[in-house]
Structure 1
């Protein structure tokens, strides 16, 4: 049984779970309560204009358990990830110059209690959580540090974007990396948008911001 962020269960005065939406299997502990998210993605026109190409569009399931009213129950959430990359000429070869990802996680609330493990994460923690979702030819990014924060108008509101810097390697050569990330709630989902690029590619920093500003949610899957 699938639901959005809306609260589906109420905790009775005795702490037991009371059925309010016909989810008997979940209340009895026989089946998980499922939550679906809607996909988020940059506008196709902006992807083409900035020279990016779509790499993957993936829906996967996150499973977890949480105590509700003192009773342990299982939950499943569908998470959408759309990833993009851009190739550039670098050191005489065509290489991946930058990457962008848009992630959507459903809001998960039961009996007024959030069961979304990402709710309390900072942008830096979300970066660690989702960094490997972007298809990239780079090695691991290390020594990640927060550099600055600024605002962008995304989905009809001002959103805080954090810029991080880190270090990586490309075929044994050290390179400095810039990462921009924003996260916010929209239409019952938690959205995470982020871009990764070499600091040598100054123009791509602006392109990542354009992709963020063009984000559409929900989009057709």
Structure 2
């Protein structure tokens, strides 16, 4: 039996888990405790205005073993939504998917006031390292990433801190500067991570990344 994240949050309000079938299986070690997240994505209008197109939208599952009081180990399973968008840009006379935006939703994984989410304590730099490989980059990986700035944006009705990073990639044997923008925050029981990457020289993409961040909807209606 799949136990939703929201029913677990309600159960945790009393400090104990309700003894549903899913919880009993978890406590006895007969099955994992399962969590779900709600998808987050930019608005269609923002995608049209910025020229980005959806490349992939998937719900994937991660599994983790946790240790409960007394040294007892149990399994948890979490469903994560990842939506990726790309844009063809022109650089050095060639056109390719040089800009990308990702919107990721991770379940809060709260049980009896305790977070079981291994990403909760990660900084934006650590989240960037964790999720950057999931963002398409036709020029290869991005290296030498450093933090350069922070600023605020109004996203989902509140002010959010956005961190700016600089990195390097390769294009036709030439090193090019890449800019990355990332914000992460809790919303409606999920941890949201929004990430934009683009060649630094394409200054218009900096504003586009911010527009996509400001436009996101969560939870996204099916």
Pairwise same-fold verdict (TM > 0.5): yes
In 2, Cα distance between equivalents of 1:10 and 1:211: 35
Q: Secondary structure at the match of 1:81?
A: strand
Mapping of 1:43-192 within 5 angstroms? Answer: 43-70=43-70, 71-192=72-193
Per-residue deviation at 1:112?
A: 2.1
In 2, Cα distance between equivalents of 1:203 and 1:114: 39
The aligned length equals 216
The superposition leaves residues 31-55 of structure 1 with CA deviations (integer Å, 9 ceiling, x where unpaired) of 0000000000000110011001110
Q: Any conservation in 2 of the 1:183–1:193 contact (CA below 8 Å)?
A: yes
Residue 30 (structure 2) pairs with residue 30 (structure 1): yes
Q: Any conservation in 1 of the 2:146–2:165 contact (CA below 8 Å)?
A: yes
Per-residue deviation at 1:90?
A: 2.1
Gaps of 5+ in 2: none
Q: Secondary structure at the match of 1:84?
A: strand
Gaps of 5+ in 1: 13-17
The superposition leaves residues 193-217 of structure 1 with CA deviations (integer Å, 9 ceiling, x where unpaired) of 0100101100100000000000100
The superposition leaves residues 158-201 of structure 1 with CA deviations (integer Å, 9 ceiling, x where unpaired) of 00000000111012111000000000000000000010010110
Q: Secondary structure at the match of 2:217?
A: coil
In 2, Cα distance between equivalents of 1:9 and 1:186: 18
Normalized against structure 1, the TM-score is what? 0.93
Q: Any conservation in 1 of the 2:98–2:137 contact (CA below 8 Å)?
A: no
Q: Any conservation in 2 of the 1:11–1:69 contact (CA below 8 Å)?
A: no
In 2, Cα distance between equivalents of 1:45 and 1:62: 32
Q: Name 2:215's counterpart in structure 1.
A: 214
Q: Name 1:15's counterpart in structure 2.
A: none
In 2, Cα distance between equivalents of 1:19 and 1:98: 45
